[in-house]
Amino acid sequence: MTKNWLITGASSGLGRGLTEKLLARGDGVVATLRRPGALDDLRKQYSGQLEVVTCELTNVDAIRAAVAQAFAAFARVDVVVSNAGYGLFGAAEELDDTQIARQIETNLTGSIQLIRAVIPRLRKQGGGRIVQVSSEGGRIGYPAFSIYHATKWGIEGFVEAAAQEVAPFGIDFVIMEPGPTRTNFGAGLDRAAPMRVYDDTPVGEIRRALDGGYFDFADAAKTVDAMIAAIDSPAPPLRLALGKSAYESIRASLTKQLGSLEAQKEIALSVMERG
Active site residue: 82, 111, 134, 135, which one?
Answer: 134
11 is catalytic: no
Active site residue: 46, 152, 245, 249, which one?
Answer: 152
Using only C-alpha atoms, the chain has a radius of gyration, in whole angstroms, of 20
d(CA 274, CA 13): 55
249 is catalytic: no
In this structure, which amino acid lies at residue 147? I
119, 64 in Cβ contact below 8 A?
A: no
Question: Helices 60-73 and 110-125 meet at what angle, rounded to 10?
Answer: 30
Cross-sheet strand order for the sheet of 28-33:
50-54, 28-33, 4-7, 79-82, 128-133, 171-178, 239-242
d(CA 1, CA 210): 42
159, 172 in Cβ contact below 8 A?
A: no
148 is catalytic: yes
Question: Can you name the residues that pair with 80 across neighbouring β-strands?
Answer: 6, 130
d(CA 215, CA 211): 10
Rounded to 10 degrees, the C-alpha dihedral 176/157/77/79 comes to 20
Active site residue: 148, 198, 245, 249, which one?
Answer: 148
- The residues annotated with a catalytic role in the active site are 134, 148, 152
